[in-house]
């Protein structure tokens, strides 16, 4: 959407004024300053908001040496909200429609359930194998006693198993099993039988390969179609794709599948306040139809018969996890560049660094919530 000539001329001044409280200068000398190569960046930012800003980065119209710190500074000052106020009528309309779409339309129905698998997780196992560590965990690591990404992920997996009080011979359900990291670890180290579900064909194929010879079954299925009874249930990094209009149904599925004395561990990114939309750039290019839950929304959806036994927040560890992923991705880009474009490389850099900035300033949190049925005699003590 075009803007009047006068507004177009003022756009660089408006963007610079927005960035000033964050200590960011256009074409400045600090590593978190942005270097703008095309004035189209300013117009697109004021007319399309974060979507336009992200797309112009992908197209090489601007750059930044320390992109993670740039985003941390922007998010600390809540510049996205201020940008929406300063933007033109087109941006206001986009913001209104985005909020309307997420609040009143169920974007995570069964019919849409496989969309995020096809558009993000099926990007290519080659990308994720080079970005992640050998556990293939695509979620926050636990860095309390770790100094490498792999150790942080192994410590996270073991922490989950201990919080679930896994016992040999138990049946574990992994909702959103990814590439099988949790299933493989639990089966090998705790002697449990695991059923994992995913909406990604690529994840299923690699998870089955990694778990060959173990008591692990990987199913390509939506969580709403599950049947059976399980001693323990875990869901790591999947709840962000459920959507608020489906929270009640999600926990009803957990009620149905969890044995009376069982435990459920929910590992999810979350926000400190209820939000009715998601970032347009992230929605279009990374996680279609996703929406981060709030603590209030989760507590309300649990109802009267599910009890929170423990709520652990270690969101500060997502920053080093994301930066470790970027380091791996960048170091192995030469192995991927023949198959993927430079625009893909810049998209991935923008995605990982913007998320790192979000967690660095506490805009994002990472929760592990242990849940049981109310009234069951479970002697549960929190584990850290």
Identify the three-state secondary structure at position 265: strand
Find, among 152, 60, 147, the residue nearest to 341 by Cα: 60
Euclidean distance between CA atoms 7 and 279, whole angstroms: 25
149: left (phi over 0), alpha (psi -120 to 50) or beta: alpha
Residue 306 DSSP symbol = E
36 touches 61 (CB < 8 A): yes
Residues contacting 30, CB < 8 A, separation 6+: 23, 24
Catalytic machinery residues:
355
- d(Cα 375, Cα 233) in Å, to the nearest integer? 18
Q: Assess contact for 380 and 277: CB atoms under 8 A.
A: no
């Amino acid at each position: 959407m075009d803007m009047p000539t006068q507004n177009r001329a003022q756009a660089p001044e408006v963007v610079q004024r927005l960035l000033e409280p964050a200590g960011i200068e256009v074409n400045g000398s600090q590593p978190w300053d942005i270097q703008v190569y095309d004035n189209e960046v300013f117009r697109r930012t004021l007319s399309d908001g974060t979507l336009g800003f992200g797309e112009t980065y992908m197209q090489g119209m601007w750059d930044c040496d320390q992109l993670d710190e740039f985003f941390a500074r922007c998010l600390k000052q809540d510049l996205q909200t201020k940008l929406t106020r300063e933007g033109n009528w087109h941006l206001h309309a986009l913001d209104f429609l985005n909020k309307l779409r997420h609040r009143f339309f169920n974007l995570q129905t069964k019919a849409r359930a496989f969309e995020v698998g096809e558009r993000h997780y099926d990007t290519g196992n080659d990308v994720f194998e080079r970005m992640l560590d050998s556990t293939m965990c695509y979620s926050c690591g636990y860095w309390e006693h770790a100094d490498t990404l792999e150790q942080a992920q192994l410590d996270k997996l073991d922490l989950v198993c201990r919080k679930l009080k896994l016992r040999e011979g138990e049946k574990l359900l992994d909702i959103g099993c990814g590439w099988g990291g949790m299933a493989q670890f639990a089966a090998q180290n705790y002697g449990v039988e695991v059923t994992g579900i995913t909406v990604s064909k690529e994840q299923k194929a690699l998870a089955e390969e990694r778990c060959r010879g173990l008591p692990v079954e990987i199913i390509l299925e939506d969580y709403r179609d599950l049947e059976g009874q399980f001693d323990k249930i875990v869901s790591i990094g999947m709840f962000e794709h459920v959507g608020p209009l489906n929270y009640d149904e999600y926990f009803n599925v957990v009620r149905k599948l969890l044995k009376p004395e069982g435990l459920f561990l929910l590992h999810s990114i979350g926000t400190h306040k209820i939000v009715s939309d998601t970032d347009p750039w992230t929605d279009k290019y990374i996680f279609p139809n996703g929406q981060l839950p709030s603590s209030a929304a989760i507590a309300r959806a649990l109802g009267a018969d599910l009890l929170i036994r423990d709520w652990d927040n270690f969101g500060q560890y997502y920053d080093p996890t994301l930066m470790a992923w970027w380091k791996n991705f960048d170091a192995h880009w030469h192995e991927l560049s023949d198959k993927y474009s430079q625009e893909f490389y810049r998209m991935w850099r923008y995605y990982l660094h913007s998320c790192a900035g979000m967690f660095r300033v506490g805009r994002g949190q990472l929760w592990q919530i242990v849940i049981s049925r109310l009234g069951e005699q479970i002697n549960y003590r929190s584990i850290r």
